Amino acid sequence: MNEDLRKKIEKLTLAQNLDRAKFDELSQKADSLLAKKKEIQNKISKKPDEPKPKLTLDEQIKEAKDRVFADINKKTDEELEKIRKEQEEADKKAAEEKESGKNKKEWREEDLTKARTEYAEEFKKFMAERKKKAGFFKKIGRKFFGSKVKEEELTEELKKLEGEYNKNIVAFGNKMFADKKSELEKSGATKEAIELQLERFKKTDIFNKVIIEEQKELNALKAENLPPKERNVLQKAVHWYFSPSKSQDTKQQIGKRIAKTAISIAVTAPIIYAITPAAIAAAGGFASYLAIRGVRAGLSIAATQLGRSGFEKIFKKEKIEEKRKAEEKVLAEKYSLGEKELSLDQLQAYKKEHAKILETEQKRKRNRLIHKSLVSLGFGGITSLSLTEIAHNLTPEQVLAGEVPQGTKVTIPHEDIQSKIPVEKTVENPNVPKEEIINKTGQGQTEIKITEDNSHVAPIQVNPEGAEGNTHIAPKQIKPDWAEENTESSSPIQTNSEEPQAPIENTGENPQATIPPKLENSSLEGNETPATEGQAEGREIPETHQNETTVKIKNENNSGTYTEEEYKLKPNEKIITPTEKTSETPTYTEEEYKLKTEGQAQPENINTPGQTNTYTEEEYKIKTGEQPKVSTNQHMTTENETGSTYTEEEYRVKNAEQYSQTEQAPATEVENQGAGTYSEKEYGISDKKIPNTQENIKSEEIQTEKTGVAQTQTEQTGTTQAAEPEKPETDMTPAETQTQQTGAPYEHKLDATGHPVEKFITEGENPYELSNEQMTEINDLYTEKMNKMFPEEKMWNWERIQNYKGMAHSILNLEKVTDEYSPLKKLLQEIHDKTGLKPVPETGLDSGTSPKEYIMKGLQYARKNNIKIKF
């Protein structure tokens, strides 16, 4: 049945049940709907007259919807695409502008100054207004609870000015950044290197300028608004913060200054932590609070829990030593030690590398010591400890990594270097010195013979020219206690030897002297470290025992070490035994002295004509006691003005002198003329010790001085002539010496006030253009002296201040310091008085000069200008 027909029938059926009116109405609606349906169908169909596949109504509607939505989607996509393109163009433009700096505010100093001033002025106005408007209760509240300015309180004008000020700051920072970037790019550095440097530059220089300095400027302006009284107190408080303590309580003087730095940490700590008043009160103050907090958190848990003993268990000393041994083993394998003989170059390289290993070991030990100390402090006396120190020195990571803070002194104990060097353990005579270094000159090799007791390798200088060069074996450096303060210096940087030195003068004609190749019957007590020393043109093997070596020296009463007094004797004076000061020591004339040597073994090849060296006894004492530049196979006699002559052997035997010798080396002739005086350098002694005074050798064990530090025994009177062909530039003329003895600076440039022109340097710089050797000499001297001044048990005292900016000035201005810092203060004062250099105090604008910087600078300046610095 036709669908339409059926529907009509239904309608008719339905109509029968409806009234006529109703029927007509519905019928019309139905017709209307049908008509609309047809209309829609016609509209949907593009070609209504063409036959089309039949679609249901739903399909047709869906199709219509899709068509409509397709249009919408299309339009939407087009809009989106348009927006996207616009955004991309905007981004591209912004990027281009950023790159070219167009989007950055061009910085001008006057703009920044203006913005800062305007902001500060507005702030002051705001604060004044705020204070004025505050009611009674608000004022009371502020009195008790502070006056924090809330964000909502700020005026629009103030916000605007603050924003403008910040923009200028940012512009300033960006300018610095751009300038630096440009500079780096011009340098040709790699992109990565540039990025790294820029990062660091931003965090240090820019941060300091843009944040720190600006804050200080701003604070200064804001402070102008304070009432006079408050402003005055604020100024005093800031001054207090940056100035050293003037308290007479010497025990705390240094600590106070350091503790102030801890305050800086205290006030920055809240960035991280919320500090409760209760916690502070319980800790007894901010400094201690922060210190405790820092230590408790900073120390490794194991260390703090276990304490010092526990620490030992964790960081066993053996581990460090084992590490060193392992490194030595690797090094030995590298050089095939024990398998073949090393050439001189190889030996030199080996010793350098080994020295590094030893140094590293000491750093590790030192850090371990620091860590141990701080662990102890964590249990007890923490309050006196600067948090800064903790922050720098405490970290277990640093200790384990062997990192050492800048300026760390290193004292390297003796290590059995010789065991790694091909040695021939031959002792031809049991009485012969226990260590012999035989220079096979002319063959370019050095063979070292070491007896079992030997444990040191002293500097070896070998002249590859063979017979023309000298190889010297000097006695081991022996430094008595008194030499700590009155020791020698090869450079004008001189130790505190006030008394005249032996007036020995070198003829300079043939500065060669020899020591017989073998010395029989000479006695040596304990370990002696001979050193060989060559001429300037000879190659030098660096000393590998930058270490502390304990050497037993026979007491004068028993054997014959020399006293300072002997050292100071003039050739024509009566020889006085070292113990003269005590009035118990017998004195000898030279004749007596000579007689005393009778029957002793005589050297070979004595008094070779034309090469005879004459010495006064004092000269000889100096010579033999201070690593003289004498060699073997030549002849030398000791002769005073009265005609008494001594061979070296006589002298050695008589005094049971300790020394070593070389073979086949040219001689240095040193002739005393009874008038001149010598510096050690002049005498060809660069790194040796002055013999002890009897009274000062309290023990049979004394520590040898670290070698490698050229030192000078500068005399006070007489002429000076160099015994060495190559005279160091630091040698001074008598006039210079005299000038220096008066304490007056030598060749200082003076400023308008008559003070020497200061040139501040930082560590590692070489503003005076010293040679590498001179710099090394100074560095070694510095290390040596500071190690003496602050031995291991006092090392911490130095560590805590050596790099403290402004501390040099502080110490110099303290009226009195504690005993442990007294030598340091004297040294700083000496440098100050002699060089005229003034340490920069720490201020808000300058970080100041640290003690280490000041000392290094002073030593360099003194070296350059031939100024003697006494230690």
Stretch 161-220 residues interacting with other proteins (CB under 8 A) = 166, 169-170, 173-174, 177, 198, 200, 202-204, 206-208, 210-212, 215-216, 219
Q: How far apart are CA 589 and CA 227, in angstroms?
A: 82
Q: Binding other proteins by CB under 8 A: which of 5, 21, 72, 274? A: 274
State yes or no: residue 272 binds other proteins (CB under 8 A).
Answer: yes
State yes or no: residue 803 binds other proteins (CB under 8 A).
Answer: yes
Q: What is the SS3 assignment for 551?
A: strand
Task: Report the chain's C-alpha Rg in angstroms.
Answer: 44
Residues 822-861 that bind other proteins (CB under 8 A): 844, 847
Residues 127-146 that bind other proteins (CB under 8 A): 142-146
Nearer to other proteins among residue 374 and residue 457 (C-beta): 374
Q: What are phi and psi of 583, to 5 degrees?
A: 60, 15
Q: Compose the 690-729 pattern: x for residues touching other proteins by CB under 8 A, - for all others.
A: ----------------------------------------
- In the complex, the smallest distance separating the C-beta of residue 856 from other proteins, rounded to whole angstroms, is 16
Q: Binding other proteins by CB under 8 A: which of 267, 282, 326, 330? A: 267
- In the complex, the smallest distance separating the C-beta of residue 797 from other proteins, rounded to whole angstroms, is 19
Do residues 476 and 456 touch, judged by C-beta distance below 8 A?
A: yes
Neighbours of 24 (CB within 10 A): 12
Tell which residue, 851, 764, 753, has the closest CA to residue 811: 851
Nearer to other proteins among residue 206 and residue 697 (C-beta): 206
Dihedral sign (CA 817, 818, 819, 821): negative
Q: How far apart are CA 728 and CA 482, in angstroms?
A: 27
Nearer to other proteins among residue 256 and residue 832 (C-beta): 256
- State the pairing for strand pair 489-490/539-541: unpaired
Do residues 844 and 804 touch, judged by C-beta distance below 8 A?
A: no
Nearer to other proteins among residue 163 and residue 743 (C-beta): 163
Q: What are phi and psi of 449, to 5 degrees?
A: -110, 130
Nearer to other proteins among residue 20 and residue 229 (C-beta): 229
Q: What is the SS3 assignment for 423?
A: strand
- In the complex, the smallest distance separating the C-beta of residue 252 from other proteins, rounded to whole angstroms, is 7
Nearer to other proteins among residue 243 and residue 614 (C-beta): 243
Nearer to other proteins among residue 222 and residue 440 (C-beta): 222
Residues 275-304 that bind other proteins (CB under 8 A): 275-277, 280-281, 284-288, 290, 293-294, 297-298
Do residues 715 and 677 touch, judged by C-beta distance below 8 A?
A: yes
Q: How far apart are CA 31 and CA 480, in angstroms?
A: 133
State yes or no: residue 223 binds other proteins (CB under 8 A).
Answer: yes
Nearer to other proteins among residue 206 and residue 541 (C-beta): 206
Q: Binding other proteins by CB under 8 A: which of 397, 452, 509, 793? A: 397
State yes or no: residue 246 binds other proteins (CB under 8 A).
Answer: yes
Q: How far apart are CA 712 and CA 694, in angstroms?
A: 22
3-state secondary structure labels for all residues of 602-619: CCCCCCCCCCCCCCCHHH
Nearer to other proteins among residue 387 and residue 636 (C-beta): 387
Burial of 393 (0-12, 13-18, 19+ CB in 10 A): buried
Q: What are phi and psi of 312, to 5 degrees?
A: -60, -35
Residues 402-421 that bind other proteins (CB under 8 A): 405-406
- In the complex, the smallest distance separating the C-beta of residue 115 from other proteins, rounded to whole angstroms, is 13
Nearer to other proteins among residue 394 and residue 515 (C-beta): 394
Per DSSP, 821 falls in state G
- In the complex, the smallest distance separating the C-beta of residue 730 from other proteins, rounded to whole angstroms, is 32
State yes or no: residue 395 binds other proteins (CB under 8 A).
Answer: yes
Tokens 């900073």 found at: 298
- In the complex, the smallest distance separating the C-beta of residue 687 from other proteins, rounded to whole angstroms, is 32
Which residues in 290-323 are b (16+ Cβ under 10 Å) and which e?
bbbbbbeebbbeebbeeeeeebeebbeeeebeee
Pick the stretch among 238-246, 450-458, 595-603, 727-735 that binds other proteins (CB under 8 A).
238-246
Nearer to other proteins among residue 790 and residue 804 (C-beta): 804
Residues 68-107 that bind other proteins (CB under 8 A): none
Q: Compose the 352-391 pattern: x for residues touching other proteins by CB under 8 A, - for all others.
A: -------------------------------x---xx-xx
Pick the stretch among 12-20, 227-235, 337-345, 451-459 that binds other proteins (CB under 8 A).
227-235
- In the complex, the smallest distance separating the C-beta of residue 323 from other proteins, rounded to whole angstroms, is 23
Neighbours of 474 (CB within 10 A): 31
Identify how many contiguous H helices and E strands the chain contains and give both numbers: 27, 16
Residues 597-636 that bind other proteins (CB under 8 A): none
- In the complex, the smallest distance separating the C-beta of residue 225 from other proteins, rounded to whole angstroms, is 10
Tell which residue, 317, 263, 384, has the closest CA to residue 800: 384
State the number of binding residues for other proteins (CB under 8 A). 94
- In the complex, the smallest distance separating the C-beta of residue 803 from other proteins, rounded to whole angstroms, is 8
Q: What is the SS3 assignment for 490?
A: strand
The contacts of residue 663 (CB under 8 Å, 6+ apart) are: 438, 439, 440, 517, 632, 633
Do residues 255 and 264 touch, judged by C-beta distance below 8 A?
A: no
- In the complex, the smallest distance separating the C-beta of residue 535 from other proteins, rounded to whole angstroms, is 42
Nearer to other proteins among residue 256 and residue 323 (C-beta): 256
Tell which residue, 329, 335, 333, 336, has the closest CA to residue 349: 335
Neighbours of 812 (CB within 10 A): 19
Q: How far apart are CA 547 and CA 565, in angstroms?
A: 28
Do residues 363 and 405 touch, judged by C-beta distance below 8 A?
A: no
State yes or no: residue 265 binds other proteins (CB under 8 A).
Answer: yes
Nearer to other proteins among residue 205 and residue 520 (C-beta): 205
Q: What are phi and psi of 471, to 5 degrees?
A: -125, 125
- In the complex, the smallest distance separating the C-beta of residue 853 from other proteins, rounded to whole angstroms, is 12
Pick the stretch among 221-229, 331-339, 506-514, 576-584 that binds other proteins (CB under 8 A).
221-229
- In the complex, the smallest distance separating the C-beta of residue 761 from other proteins, rounded to whole angstroms, is 16
- In the complex, the smallest distance separating the C-beta of residue 263 from other proteins, rounded to whole angstroms, is 5
Do residues 728 and 846 touch, judged by C-beta distance below 8 A?
A: no
Nearer to other proteins among residue 83 and residue 234 (C-beta): 234
Q: Binding other proteins by CB under 8 A: which of 115, 254, 261, 713? A: 261
- In the complex, the smallest distance separating the C-beta of residue 718 from other proteins, rounded to whole angstroms, is 47
Do residues 593 and 572 touch, judged by C-beta distance below 8 A?
A: no
